[in-house]
Amino acid sequence: MEKPWLKFYEPGVPENIEIPEIPLFQLLEDSAKDFPDNTLGVFLGQEKTYKQVLEEVNRLATALNKMGIKQGDVVGLMLGNMPQFITAFFGALRAGAILTLINPLYQAPEVKFQLNDSGAKALIIIDIMHDGYAKIRDETKVQYTIVTTMADAFPGMQVSFKPPEGIKGYHMWGELLESAEPKPPKLKITPKDTPAVLLYTGGTTGVPKGAILTHYNLVANAYQCNSWIPFAERGAGDTTLAVIPFFHSFGLTVCMLNTITLADRLILHPRPDLDQILRDIPRYNVAFFPGVPTIYSSLLQRDDLDQYDLKSM
């Protein structure tokens, strides 16, 4: 069989790769085991290592399981690029749940549709988006709402959000993690058959549709991304600038999963602030900057671009 596309491969990119049949959360577990002290994420100057994140993941998985989340239940995430997204993503998977990733900027009717269409039993949400969710909460099947705040990423910062009175099933992120031991449940996962994520389409030609991605699908995506960076050495601590949202497939695979598989470092940007991007590239010696043409175009149009050292990329 002819493979004309191979002539477009960069030097060092393999023709074929082997994909391990493992649960998706094992990507994090393996990196935390091999490189526990490597920095996983940096968020507004705050750092967390792989070891620290894995402990949070296991605590959350334990808490979700005790709460009533069982294998096969759907958990919604309504978070931006922040440390809690990574912990929530792998924690829900480690509890045996299926994730549905919701754009935090969605309007209430869009949130309602995705929660109901996916059959979400729980929702993990950032507090600043709670008011919109509260409008449609009772029109969904969500039984458990877990609220996180910016204070959860910054020790000593005061939590201002108060759960609504008289409504059952509300939990605060920090209290939930503190109350649980890092002893997640035993799971039986068949990577090629077990769903991991319900990722919804944009709905440009109709209502959004949930695409079922198995554990194996996303492990394969991560390994494929790794293979396209043949010079990347696992555990070297190279840095990826994570501006593309993790709730989109591009950001999820190319930024988050790819980086974690390599045990590298993520610089988390909750929104594409051009000034902050240009400051962080030299500050953190950024090697990889996945993006879309509009971001690159906006940067290239800056009159002060030559004032920044971007040679690390």
Q: Output the pLDDT for position 206.
A: 81
User: Sorting pLDDT into bands at 50, 70 and 90, what band is 44?
Assistant: very high
pLDDT in tens, 229-285: 888 899 999 999 999 999 999 999 999 999 999 999 999 999 999 999 999 999 999
Give, in order, the Cα–Cα distances in Å from 154 to each of 43, 159, 181, 225, 277.
Answer: 9, 10, 21, 31, 21
- Give the CA dihedral 280, 283, 285, 287, nearest 10 degrees: 0
What is the model's pTM? 0.96
Q: Output the pLDDT for position 166.
A: 83
Here the tokens at position 115 are 């929660």
The mean per-residue pLDDT over the stretch 121-139 comes to 96
> How many C-beta neighbours within 10 Å does residue 164 have?
11
CATH architecture of structural domain 20-307:
3-Layer(aba) Sandwich (3.40)
Q: At what angle do helices 50-67 and 83-94 cross, to 10 degrees?
A: 50
Tell me the C-alpha distance between 68 and 107, whole Å.
28
pLDDT in tens, 146-201: 999 999 998 878 778 888 888 899 999 999 999 999 999 999 999 999 999 999 99
Residue type (1 letter), 154: F
The mean per-residue pLDDT over the stretch 108-123 comes to 97
End-to-end distance of the chain based on CA atoms, in angstroms? 37
Domain boundaries, the chain: 20-307
Average pLDDT of every residue of the chain: 95
